[in-house]
Amino acid sequence: MSTFGAAAANHNPNKSFEVLQPPSDSVSSLSFSPKANILVATSWDNQQVRCWEISRNGTAVASTPKASITHDQPVLCSTWKDDGTTVFSGGCDKQVKMWPLLSGGQPMTVAMHDAPIKEVAWIPEMNLLVTGSWDKTLKYWDTRQPNPVHTQQLPDRCYALTVKYPLMVVGTADRNLIVFNLQNPQTEYKRVVSPLKYQTRCVAAFPDQQGFLVGSIEGRVGVHHLDDGQQNKNFTFKCHRDGSEIYSVNSLNFHPIHHTFATAGSDGAFNFWDKDSKQRLKAMSRCSQPIPCSTFNNDGSIFAYSVFVMTGVRVLKITTHQQQRPTFSCTCLRNLKLKASHELEQVVESEGCFWLEND
């Protein structure tokens, strides 16, 4: 088993900003409001869902704890309603709670399964909540009604879910990837065997709904297009590895503006990539503990990630430039000022970035 050795002495090598009053146990999900810099985290400690308001003043980032609610057992997932007023959270108590956060209302149960709920997503185009569970079902809920409007059987336990309407992709045990067209949600659009050899950990739909990313426990990400005519564009690449040590890819997030993406893994690292040019844009320094989850805020200016167990939740300021390609900075990194694409190529090369492996 790998150890972090001397790296453990520096649990925040990227000088990211740590939130106040973080959870005391592992964070299972992070979710930013689609309307404001309000961050919600679910965790295993006291079965809590916590909320912070994240503010920026120049290069500084600060957090203000706002509120919290509890479940009866550990909480595994969270999402926001599209108007930014309400949070949904689900977990090992087999229920989803709807929390009217902005109005200060009390949480109420709006969904139930026969086993822990691993994934939850709000679909604004349908005004429905979708939940994925280890009971091998996917359920759609109108939160005004006690029963699901539809229950979809899955081939195995739900491990991951991503929605970019009308595309939804569900990753289950046994490497199944189930694709749905939400314009016809009661029928599978396509079933794909993962291009990766081992257990699926995370999925992320392309912003243009033409495909998805899939990450697994083997330190590899697959880029998959749905159109049969674009299968020659599919590839996989290795990441979150250190010599012979291989780490799980735990989180995949597309930047909401530039459509590059971030990976976070059990090696304690998070990296930024461009799938179209097949490049890693930035490799951040490794933290001393695994990173189980991460997310961007609604305009992509803040990247939030959690570090396993002891060190809570952090936020990293992200700067952008006029060519609509992202650069990344925190207090320990220089702020890259790029004016043309050829300058980006020079910086990418000088910063140690590389072409992805197509194997």
Averaged over successive runs of 10 residues, the pLDDT of the chain (359 residues) comes to: 44 88 89 96 84 88 93 95 97 96 92 98 98 98 96 98 98 98 96 96 98 97 96 96 95 97 96 95 92 95 84 67 38 28 31 34
pLDDT at 348: 31
**Cβ partners under 8 Å of residue 223, min gap 6:** 211, 213, 233, 234, 235, 236, 237, 275
The strands making up 137-141's β-sheet, listed across from edge to edge, are 117-123, 128-133, 137-141, 150-153
Hey, what long-range contacts does 168-177 have (CB within 8 A, 24 or more apart)?
168/121, 168/123, 168/130, 168/205, 169/203, 169/205, 169/212, 170/119, 170/132, 170/138, 170/203, 171/200, 171/202, 171/203, 171/214, 172/136, 172/200, 173/199, 175/199, 175/200, 177/203, 177/212, 177/214, 177/224
What is the DSSP pairing of strand 117-123 with strand 200-205?
unpaired
Of 351, 30, 359, the C-alpha closest to 221 is 359
CA distances from 17 to 161, 177, 338 (A): 29, 36, 25
Q: What is the pLDDT of residue 25?
A: 83
Which helix (H) or strand (E) is 62 found in, with range?
strand 60-70
Strands 270-274 and 279-283: antiparallel
Superfamily of chain region 17-322: YVTN repeat-like/Quinoprotein amine dehydrogenase (2.130.10.10)
CA distance 218 to 197: 8
Residues paired with residue 306 on neighbouring β-strands, in sequence order:
313
Strand, coil or helix: what is 4? Answer: coil
pTM here?
0.85
CA dist., res. 325 & res. 319, Å (int): 10
Q: Running DSSP on this structure, what letter comes out for residue 101? A: T
C-alpha span between 169 and 324 (Å, rounded): 28
> In the structure encoding, which two tokens stand for residue 46, read together?
């006291």
Asked whether the beta carbons of 76 and 92 are under 8 A apart, the reply is yes
Q: Are strands 150-153 and 158-164 parallel, antiparallel or unpaired?
A: unpaired
Domain spans of the chain, in order of start: 17-322
